Structure 1
């Protein structure tokens, strides 16, 4: 199948992108509005982009209506600050519930029952219990395309690393972290690690095998086929 991207509408292009770029890291992002209301939402167009200074990026689309800017972006633009957290399995459900489109005056921490912790140098609170958090200040914001999408570049000014996963020589014990990644519209748990080459028997045993599901749904099921999914990363109620 060869698809000319010029023939695609935004929703079709989004489906191909999120199904082709997997697994994606999730930036669980806390912000605060100019009026002081905390916000929390997962962003899966998220990656590291620089080392000195350490820099990350977030790409944000509008809400499910395709027009209204997400509270996360409005808050980042208004205050110049945000915090990203590593999403792990124990908090995966709470993280998913923060993807719902709450009204701007709603504190998502309270709405999903999460405790806050103070940051060192930025105003947004951290998620208590998250093993890694990064306090960030905006370095630049770039508008992408003609659909009001934006890329935010943020300088990491503080790392919060749980003591037991911070190893000698500054390494993080990644094998101790039940990290959660994003597939097309679902999640995946990071449960194995390897270096290449792998033994041929291992590769042969896995050839053609479909990914196993932890939620007992059929292996060909996807949220994209349901009414709750939207081409914005948000979850419709």
Structure 2
């Protein structure tokens, strides 16, 4: 199948992108409104920009109506601050619930049952249960395309790393962090690791094997096919 991207609308292109670029890291972003209301949202168009200074990138789509800017973007624009929290399996359902389009007047920490933890530099709280969090200050916001997408670059000013995950050599013990990533409209758990080359026996044993589900949905099921899915990365509350 060869598809001309010029012939796709935003919804169709989004389906192909999120089903092909996998797994994607999730930046579970906490922000504060200018009036001090806390917001949480998982952003899966999330990656690292640079090392010195350490910077991260978020790409934020509008709400499911295709027009209204998400609270995350508005809050970052208005306050110049945000926090990215690492999602591990114990927080997965809280993270998923925080993707709902709550009213801007709602404190989403309270809505999904999470505890706030104060940061050192930014006023935004981090998720206490998250094993790693980055305090970030806004570097720039870049409008992209013609569908109200925006790229946000933020400078990491503080790293919060749970003590047991920080090794003597100054690295993260990734084997002790059951990180949750994004597939299309579903999630995946990082529960294996390898370096190459792998043996032929291992390669043969895994050839053609489909990913196994750890929920109760049948093989081949996808939330993208559901009536409530929208190309916004958010769900309706």
Relative to the length of structure 1, the TM-score reads 0.99
Counterpart-to-counterpart distance in 1, 2:123 and 2:38: 9
Matching residue of 1:147: 147
Q: Deviations over 1:78-97 (max 9, x none)?
A: 00000001110000000000
Matching residue of 2:107: 107
Matching residue of 1:215: 215
Contact 1:230/1:236 (8 A) holds in 2 = no
Supply the RMSD in Å over aligned alpha carbons.
Answer: 0.6
Counterpart-to-counterpart distance in 2, 1:41 and 1:216: 25
Matching residue of 1:12: 12
Matching residue of 2:202: 202
Matching residue of 1:173: 173
Cα offset, 1:107, TM superposition: 0.5
Secondary structure in structure 2 of the residue aligned to 1:224: helix
Counterpart-to-counterpart distance in 2, 1:201 and 1:184: 30
Q: Deviations over 1:73-125 (max 9, x none)?
A: 00000000000011100000000000000000000000011000000010110
Cα offset, 1:11, TM superposition: 0.1
Matching residue of 1:63: 63
Counterpart-to-counterpart distance in 2, 1:236 and 1:36: 23
Counterpart-to-counterpart distance in 1, 2:8 and 2:146: 14
Matching residue of 2:122: 122
Counterpart-to-counterpart distance in 1, 2:123 and 2:74: 15
Is 1:30 equivalent to 2:30 in the alignment? Answer: yes
Q: Deviations over 1:40-79 (max 9, x none)?
A: 0100000001011000000000000000000000000000
The answer for unaligned runs of 5 or more in structure 2 is none
Q: Deviations over 1:167-206 (max 9, x none)?
A: 0121100000000000001000001000001111111111
Matching residue of 1:43: 43
Cα offset, 1:220, TM superposition: 0.5
Counterpart-to-counterpart distance in 1, 2:19 and 2:112: 28
Secondary structure in structure 1 of the residue aligned to 2:192: coil
Counterpart-to-counterpart distance in 2, 1:207 and 1:112: 40
Secondary structure in structure 1 of the residue aligned to 2:185: coil
Number of equivalenced pairs: 237
Counterpart-to-counterpart distance in 2, 1:129 and 1:63: 27
User: Post-superposition, which runs of at least 4 consecutive aligned residues in structure 1 deviate over 4 A?
Assistant: none
The answer for unaligned runs of 5 or more in structure 1 is none
